[in-house]
């Protein structure tokens, strides 16, 4: 019997997994469905106090406030809001034992599951948390040298973090999950020129470091990022976490990119799931399997997890996972027709 880690690996690498893998949320398990990924979020816990269960400062000096709906919260205080603070600013130490000392027992509990460590706020997301969103969008044109300095700090932190994880845990880790939201509802937030100038070389450096450890690069990005997907694939992204399938143009998006990158996907969290119409949820799950995966793999069913934050009734995720379960051998079943 194929172990769960191998099922996920084969889906990511288009190596013909025996079934569709399932990625359940770290703190929201749905009994009765496959649970193939041990997803650990402890890399986000901050010594200064912030984590997802409370609002507080983080170790980068960003001041978080809770929103009315309990979720990640929002950054309201940006340590580089004024550029005069830049020369004295120092990022956190990527080798601080605080970030790693809790991980060992969690890795021990993974059993035969695929182990993924989540560390949000990769480059763009961390940049605008430090500087402020409006400032950041202006800085690409008005202060490019300062943007370069801040991004290089972030890259140095990420490379140090990756190296420390490799040194401590090596092949007990299989993938790193990171986030940079690049899209609005209908387009990317910045031009291809901004992406190419400020981010592509730095992404490549980080992704190469991850691949040198033998791990997969798993990137989340909200919004209609269709125009950036070919570049992200070229830079080395192995898995794209996509949560707004209707915004991309579900069928055409899948037909354009399936087989080129693995998708970590859920039925649309903005429209279909909040709508809670069972027939529509099941139909969209089928469309995702038919159009985003291949007989060789390329799709992982994803549980968003924080369903109250997106107005999804509690019974709805079970409907989605039930349909994905029915479709879990879709390509194998078709090959026998």
CATH topology of domain 4-47+91-335: TIM Barrel (3.20.20)
Q: How far is CA 299 from CA 13, 38, 236, 239, in A?
A: 10, 17, 17, 9
Tokens of 294: 């291949």
Do 72 and 304 form a contact (C-beta atoms < 8 A)?
Answer: no
Do 190 and 231 form a contact (C-beta atoms < 8 A)?
Answer: no
Tokens of 7: 């099922």
Q: Tokens 């991004």 identify what position?
A: 151
Domain locations along the chain: 4-47+91-335
Closest by Cα among 65, 83, 81 to 73: 65
How far is it, in rounded angstroms, from Cα 187 to Cα 137?
15
Rounded mean pLDDT, 170-199: 97
pLDDT value of residue 245: 92
How far is it, in rounded angstroms, from Cα 105 to Cα 298?
30
How far is it, in rounded angstroms, from Cα 258 to Cα 272?
22
pLDDT value of residue 72: 76
| pTM for the whole structure | 0.97
**68 pLDDT higher than 80:** no
Do 40 and 115 form a contact (C-beta atoms < 8 A)?
Answer: yes
- Of the listed ranges 61-75, 167-181, 302-316, the least confidently predicted one is 61-75
Do 78 and 62 form a contact (C-beta atoms < 8 A)?
Answer: yes
Please write the tens of the pLDDT for every residue from 220-263. Answer: 999 999 999 999 999 999 999 999 999 999 999 999 999 999 99
Q: What are phi and psi of 284, to 5 degrees?
A: -70, -35
Please write the tens of the pLDDT for every residue from 282-331. Answer: 999 999 999 999 999 999 999 998 888 889 999 999 999 999 999 999 99
């Amino acid at each position: 019997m194929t172990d769960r880690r191998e099922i996920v690996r084969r889906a990511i690498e288009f190596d013909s997994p025996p079934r569709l893998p399932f990625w359940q949320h770290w703190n929201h398990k749905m009994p009765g469905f496959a649970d193939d990924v041990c997803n650990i979020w402890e890399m986000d816990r901050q010594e200064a106090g912030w984590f997802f269960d409370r609002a507080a400062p983080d170790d980068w000096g960003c001041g978080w406030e809770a929103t009315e709906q309990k979720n990640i919260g929002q950054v309201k205080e940006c340590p580089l809001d004024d550029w005069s603070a830049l020369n004295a600013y120092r990022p956190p130490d990527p080798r601080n034992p605080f970030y790693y000392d809790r991980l060992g027992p969690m890795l021990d509990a993974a059993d035969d599951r695929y182990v993924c460590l989540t560390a949000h706020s990769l480059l763009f997301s961390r940049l605008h948390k430090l500087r402020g969103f409006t400032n950041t969008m202006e800085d690409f044109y008005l202060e490019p040298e300062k943007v370069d300095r801040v991004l290089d700090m972030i890259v140095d932190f990420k490379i140090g973090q990756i190296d420390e994880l490799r040194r401590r845990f090596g092949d007990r880790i299989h993938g790193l999950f990171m986030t940079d939201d690049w899209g609005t509802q209908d387009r990317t937030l910045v031009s291809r020129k901004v992406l190419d100038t400020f981010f592509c070389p730095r992404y490549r450096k980080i992704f190469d470091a991850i691949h040198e450890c033998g791990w997969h690069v798993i990137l989340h990005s909200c919004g209609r990022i269709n125009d950036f997907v070919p570049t992200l694939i070229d830079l080395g992204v192995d898995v794209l976490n996509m949560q707004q399938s209707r915004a991309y143009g579900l069928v055409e998006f899948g037909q354009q990119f399936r087989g080129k990158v693995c998708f970590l996907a859920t039925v649309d969290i903005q429209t279909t799931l909040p709508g809670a119409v069972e027939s529509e949820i099941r139909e969209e799950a089928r469309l995702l399997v038919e159009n985003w995966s291949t007989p060789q793999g390329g799709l992982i069913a994803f549980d968003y997890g924080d369903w109250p934050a997106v107005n999804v009734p509690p019974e709805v995720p079970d409907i989605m996972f039930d349909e994905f379960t029915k479709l879990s051998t879709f390509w194998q079943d078709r090959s026998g027709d």
